[in-house]
């Protein structure tokens, strides 16, 4: 009896033990033979710095909107799967996780039905379709950028048309599977700055998810439950691809760091918390190598639908601000992206605790010469439009050098943008960027999807037209400054322009214009033809933003004579290009109106406004001089101006003077004081007709010259403790795999020394002088900056270091 009871207890114990061990995650179950220290072939292959720099950063989100404290999209994701011992994690992240999520999120799938969960696989995508076609017959993993280009060209196939097996990386899809996949192509992709958690959080807050590639180690394999991955542990194995599906600002790791991202893995439900895991913001910045967001093709519709009512675009504060840091001893140069609606910019500088108005600029750059040697300055900027001003930009820091240095680096071109349109029968790409002080010209380079760059021309201005972009492909562009006939500075961030054909969705319409009171009974609209477009849908809205008309047009002009517009009210228009595959995004909006009073005026005509109104910089004589192109049949010109008043308010337009029609210039003494800004415009008028619309506005200001630079007292402040200590990071060497990077910083007064180690071996010693007040230390080949977005982290850039790609930037965490 007792013997029987003992056997029962033993069986129960074995059963419970088996159950417990059955829930344990076995790392070897998801490691391929090559996923081990030394070979580092785990499935995700990080792209080189040159490749990553060629992919444009995502910049189209509003970074001034407040973010939610937490987002969790895990419940909306497809069920967690298991890649097994195959290096297909990139295909699992991009195809199975993200493409399946986007399909259901668009309302095109009723449910997730993966076969491993008993489904038929019609509404989830096959990792095998993506992986087997790209791996070249070897189970060595994939690059993210090549996979996303594959998805743009080939799409993704449902699991049901090409089932996945971790034992088979060679079988190729059938022709029917390839054809079906073309219905599920992605539209585009954007690179995210993984060192700034807010950029990833904004994508998640927009109900999209993010692909990430990380260096993984033993500690990551052992992650369990709600534990946050926050420290390296054990050996590094290689790169692994996953999906970021959420974040929580309030989560705190064992080391005390706040904020973590939620990951969906492809290692089955025994890993982490049922297949999900958490990684701190700080750790992700340290071990991540790439993050991207996918923009999916919109669902096919019989007619385009405007999901949101178009509105007038607000004026935004300057962004992409670059500031010189120790490049010069007697000046600091600021450059930023030109804002579409800005006619001038206000530069503010911080004096101890408060900002004050320093100067105005009529272009997206400024040189501050009211500086001292070895001093730090903090700036912020405001965009000024004809009707309103923007919020202030984020604060930026610059500093001067401790020793005389008049010949610093010219810096990086910023603000590169492009518009595509048809000129004649062929597409053109119109590029523009912010002018760089000191540049005598610019070199323009282009690459296709292979990301191999070729110089295609030069320009003496901040403008260039590419008359022969590749059609039906993505065209990548970048720009660098020329000084004394030689290329100088670094290349700009890349911009990508897709040039459509009939096999792609058409391009967005550009250069839409509408007459504004030119006629009593009609509004004429014109636009440039969009590549790939067969037809256009024009939408009209009244002043209350209510739909007022929809028109289908085959050409690039339309005359609106509807009775409802002939009351003089203002109407808003936007246009959508279309072809057999679908529709582009709506164009920028324009406003148009009629002027019923024109029919009541006796004789005369209303002329076009003057073009190319320009102004001069205000000198010691304080003389304002305006010039413009003459308007045929103009009897006289009227000069108007408005004053920018306190707290950024733009005043009302006031009449200043009239000029006889045979003249095309006007001069007056500057009407204000130092620190004032005025906006001027000119109208033409026939002898008996009405005044024209306003010309373009120009800004005129007087930055009162400083009689003497305020010399700052010599600071005895020592290098802050926030710099001092040991900092660690991870770097992926394209030839030898993951490397542990260590920087040990010590200070002696304002002098610093930074010792760089790679895999515990001394590589280089840097030394220099800290500029008091700065959050950055800099010397030849080394720049180290305390992170603004991550407490306890820093960013370091390296130049001309043998073991690093030139210009590489890494995120470091401070060791305790």
Confidence tier at 710 by pLDDT (50, 70, 90): low
Confidence tier at 689 by pLDDT (50, 70, 90): confident
Q: What is the structure's pLDDT at 714? A: 62
How many whole angstroms separate alpha carbon 275 and alpha carbon 575?
45
pLDDT tens across 594-630, in order? 988 776 544 567 788 999 999 998 888 899 999 999 9
Q: What is the structure's pLDDT at 646? A: 62
Please name the helix (run of DSSP H) or strand (run of DSSP E) that holds residue 281, with its range, or none: helix 281-287
Q: What is the structure's pLDDT at 4? A: 45
Radius of gyration of the chain (CA): 30
Task: Give the mean pLDDT of 45-61.
Answer: 88
Residue 30, token pair as written in the block: 């998801």
Q: Cα torsion at 621, 627, 633, 637 (round to 10°)?
A: -50
Q: Which residue has the tokens 């890494």?
A: 810
pLDDT tens across 138-193, in order? 999 999 999 999 999 999 999 999 999 999 999 999 999 999 999 999 989 999 99
Beta bridge partners, 329, equal none
pLDDT tens across 323-361, in order? 999 999 999 999 999 998 999 999 999 988 899 999 999
Q: Is the pLDDT of residue 716 over 90?
A: no
* Residues 6+ positions from 429 with CB-CB distance below 8 Å: 418, 419, 420, 465, 466, 469, 475, 477, 497, 499
CB 556 within 8 A of CB 527: yes
Q: Which residue has the tokens 């385009």?
A: 304
Residues of the chain with pLDDT > 90: what percent?
78
Residue 118, token pair as written in the block: 């008993």
Most distant CA pair in the chain, distance: 123
Residue ranges of the chain that CATH labels 2.60.40.10: 322-399, 417-499, 513-600, 614-701
Of 470, 477, 480, nearest to 494 (Cα)? 477
SS3 of residue 265 by DSSP: coil
CA distances from 451 to 476, 478, 735 (A): 8, 11, 20
Confidence tier at 17 by pLDDT (50, 70, 90): very low
Q: What is the structure's pLDDT at 414? A: 94
Task: Give the mean pLDDT of 568-582.
Answer: 92
Q: Which residue has the higher pLDDT, 80 or 674?
A: 80
How many whole angstroms separate alpha carbon 236 and alpha carbon 217?
4
CATH superfamily of 322-399: Immunoglobulins (2.60.40.10)
pLDDT tens across 22-43, in order? 579 999 999 999 999 999 999 9
How many whole angstroms separate alpha carbon 549 and alpha carbon 719?
65
Residue ranges of the chain that CATH labels 3.90.70.10: 27-296
Task: Give the mean pLDDT of 444-459.
Answer: 95
How many whole angstroms separate alpha carbon 431 and alpha carbon 423?
15
Q: What is the structure's pLDDT at 300? A: 66
Sign of the alpha-carbon dihedral angle for 580, 584, 588, 589: positive
Q: Is the pLDDT of residue 242 over 90?
A: yes
Of 413, 437, 577, 551, nearest to 493 (Cα)? 413
> Beta-strand (E) ranges in 670-749?
677-685, 698-701, 725-733, 737-748
Q: Which residue has the tokens 């959050």?
A: 775
pLDDT tens across 394-437, in order? 999 999 998 887 677 788 999 999 999 999 999 999 999 999 88
Confidence tier at 5 by pLDDT (50, 70, 90): very low
Q: Which residue has the tokens 């517009």?
A: 565
How many whole angstroms separate alpha carbon 695 and alpha carbon 51?
44
- The reply to whether CATH 3.30.1490.20 applies to domain 417-499 is no
**DSSP character at residue 610:** P
Across 156-165, b (16+ Cβ under 10 Å) vs e yields: bbbbbbbebe
Phi, psi for 37 (deg, rounded to 5):
-55, 135
* Residues 6+ positions from 564 with CB-CB distance below 8 Å: 542, 548, 549
**DSSP character at residue 516:** B
Phi, psi for 177 (deg, rounded to 5):
-65, -40
Beta bridge partners, 676, equal none
* Residues 6+ positions from 717 with CB-CB distance below 8 Å: 750, 772, 773
CATH topology of domain 614-701: Immunoglobulin-like (2.60.40)
Number of Cβ atoms within 10 Å of the Cβ of 603:
8
Phi, psi for 244 (deg, rounded to 5):
-85, 120
- The reply to whether CATH 3.40.1710.10 applies to domain 725-814 is no
How many whole angstroms separate alpha carbon 376 and alpha carbon 238?
41
Residue ranges of the chain that CATH labels 2.40.128.120: 725-814
* Model pTM score: 0.89
Task: Return the half-sphere exposure (C-beta side, CA atoms, 13 A cut-off) of residue 114.
Answer: 19
CB 520 within 8 A of CB 697: no
SS3 of residue 256 by DSSP: coil
CA distances from 658 to 64, 614, 639, 738 (A): 43, 17, 6, 71
CATH superfamily of 513-600: Immunoglobulins (2.60.40.10)
Confidence tier at 308 by pLDDT (50, 70, 90): low
Q: Which residue has the tokens 């992206």?
A: 337
SS3 of residue 445 by DSSP: strand
Confidence tier at 706 by pLDDT (50, 70, 90): low
CA distances from 457 to 429, 438, 474 (A): 13, 19, 19
Of 725, 727, 757, nearest to 739 (Cα)? 757
Burial of 643 from C-beta contacts in 10 A (0-12 / 13-18 / 19+): middle
pLDDT tens across 724-744, in order? 999 999 999 999 999 999 999
CATH of domain 27-296: 3.90.70.10
Of 278, 253, 252, nearest to 264 (Cα)? 278
Q: What is the mean pLDDT of the chain?
A: 91
Q: Is the pLDDT of residue 503 over 90?
A: no
Q: Is the pLDDT of residue 224 over 50?
A: yes
Q: In whole angstroms, what separates CA 801 from the centre of its chain?
A: 28
Q: What is the structure's pLDDT at 712? A: 57
How many whole angstroms separate alpha carbon 777 and alpha carbon 399?
10
What own/partner pairs with CB < 8 Å and gap ≥ 24 does 738-746 have?
Answer: 738/40, 738/215, 738/236, 738/238, 738/239, 739/803, 740/232, 740/236, 741/810, 741/812, 743/784, 743/796, 743/812, 745/777, 745/784
Q: Is the pLDDT of residue 648 over 70?
A: no
How many whole angstroms separate alpha carbon 443 and alpha carbon 427?
21
């Amino acid at each position: 009896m007792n013997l029987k009871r003992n056997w029962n207890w033993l069986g129960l114990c074995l059963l419970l033990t088996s159950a417990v061990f059955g829930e344990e995650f076995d790392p070897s179950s998801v490691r391929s033979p090559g996923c081990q220290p030394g070979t580092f072939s785990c499935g995700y292959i990080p792209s080189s710095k040159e490749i990553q720099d060629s992919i444009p950063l995502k910049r189209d989100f509003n970074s001034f909107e407040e973010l939610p404290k937490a987002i969790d999209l895990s419940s909306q994701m497809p069920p967690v799967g298991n890649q097994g011992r195959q290096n297909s994690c990139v295909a699992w992240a991009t195809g199975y996780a993200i493409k399946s999520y986007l399909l259901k999120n668009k309302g095109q799938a009723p449910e997730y039905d993966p076969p491993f969960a008993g489904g038929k696989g019609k509404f989830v995508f096959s990792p095998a379709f993506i992986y087997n076609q790209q791996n070249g017959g070897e189970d060595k993993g994939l690059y993210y950028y090549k996979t996303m280009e594959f998805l743009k060209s080939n799409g993704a196939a449902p699991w049901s048309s090409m089932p996945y097996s971790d034992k088979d990386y060679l079988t190729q899809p059938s022709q029917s599977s390839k054809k079906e996949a073309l219905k599920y192509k992605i539209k585009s992709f954007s690179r995210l700055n993984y060192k700034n958690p807010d950029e990833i959080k904004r994508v998640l807050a927009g109900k999209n998810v993010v692909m990430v590639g990380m260096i993984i180690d033993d500690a990551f394999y052992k992650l369990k439950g709600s534990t946050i991955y926050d420290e390296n542990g054990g050996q590094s194995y290689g790169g692994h691809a996953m999906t970021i599906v959420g974040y929580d600002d309030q989560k705190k790791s064992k080391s005390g760091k706040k904020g973590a991202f939620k990951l969906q893995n492809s290692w089955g439900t025994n890993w982490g918390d049922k297949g999900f895991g958490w990684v701190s913001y700080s750790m992700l910045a340290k071990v991540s190598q790439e993050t991207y967001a996918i923009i999916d093709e919109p669902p096919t519709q019989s007619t385009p639908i405007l999901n949101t009512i178009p509105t007038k675009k607000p004026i935004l504060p300057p962004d992409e601000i670059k500031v010189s840091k120790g490049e010069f001893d007697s000046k600091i140069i600021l450059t930023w992206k030109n804002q579409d609606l800005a006619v001038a910019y206000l530069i503010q500088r911080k004096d101890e605790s408060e900002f004050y108005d320093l100067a105005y600029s009529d272009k997206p750059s400024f040189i501050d010469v009211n500086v001292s040697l070895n001093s730090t300055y903090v700036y912020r900027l405001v965009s000024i439009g004809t009707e309103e001003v923007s919020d202030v930009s984020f604060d930026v820091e610059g500093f001067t050098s401790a020793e005389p240095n008049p010949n610093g680096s010219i810096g990086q071109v910023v603000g590169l943008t492009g518009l595509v349109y048809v000129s004649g029968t062929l597409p053109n790409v119109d590029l523009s960027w912010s002018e760089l002080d000191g540049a005598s010209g610019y070199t323009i380079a282009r690459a296709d999807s292979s990301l191999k760059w070729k110089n295609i021309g030069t320009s003496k201005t901040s403008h260039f037209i590419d008359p022969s972009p590749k059609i039906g492909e993505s065209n990548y562009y970048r720009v660098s400054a020329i000084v004394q006939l030689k290329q100088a500075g670094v290349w700009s961030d890349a911009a990508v322009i897709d040039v459509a054909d009939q096999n792609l969705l058409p391009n967005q319409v550009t250069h839409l214009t509408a007459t504004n009171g030119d006629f009593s009974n009609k509004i004429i609209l014109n636009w440039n033809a969009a590549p790939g477009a067969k037809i256009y849908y024009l939408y009209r809205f009244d002043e209350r933003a209510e739909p007022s008309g929809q028109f289908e047009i085959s050409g690039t002009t339309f005359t609106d004579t509807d009775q409802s517009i002939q009351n003089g009210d203002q109407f808003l228009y936007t246009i959508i290009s279309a072809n057999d595959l679908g529709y582009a995004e709506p164009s920028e909006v324009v406003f148009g109106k009629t002027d019923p009073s024109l029919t009541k005026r006796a004789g005369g005509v209303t002329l076009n406004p003057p073009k190319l109104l320009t102004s001069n910089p205000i000198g010691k004589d304080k003389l304002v001089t305006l010039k413009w192109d003459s308007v045929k049949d103009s009897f006289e010109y009227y000069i108007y101006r408005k004053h920018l008043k306190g707290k950024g308010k733009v005043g009302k337009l006031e009449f200043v003077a009239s000029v006889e029609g045979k003249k095309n210039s006007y001069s007056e003494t500057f009407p204000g004081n130092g620190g004032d800004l005025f906006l001027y415009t000119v109208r033409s008028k026939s002898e008996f007709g009405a005044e024209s619309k306003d010309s373009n506005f120009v800004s005129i200001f007087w930055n009162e010259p400083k009689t003497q630079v305020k010399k700052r007292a010599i600071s005895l402040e020592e290098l802050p403790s926030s710099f001092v200590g040991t900092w660690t990071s991870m770097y992926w060497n394209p030839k030898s795999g993951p490397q542990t990077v260590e920087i040990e910083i010590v200070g002696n007064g304002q002098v610093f020394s930074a010792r760089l180690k790679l895999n515990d071996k001394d590589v280089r010693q840097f030394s220099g002088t800290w500029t008091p007040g700065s959050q950055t230390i800099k010397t030849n080949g080394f720049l180290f900056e305390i992170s603004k977005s991550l407490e306890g982290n820093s960013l370091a850039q390296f130049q001309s270091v043998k073991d690093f790609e030139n210009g590489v930037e890494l995120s470091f965490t401070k060791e305790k």
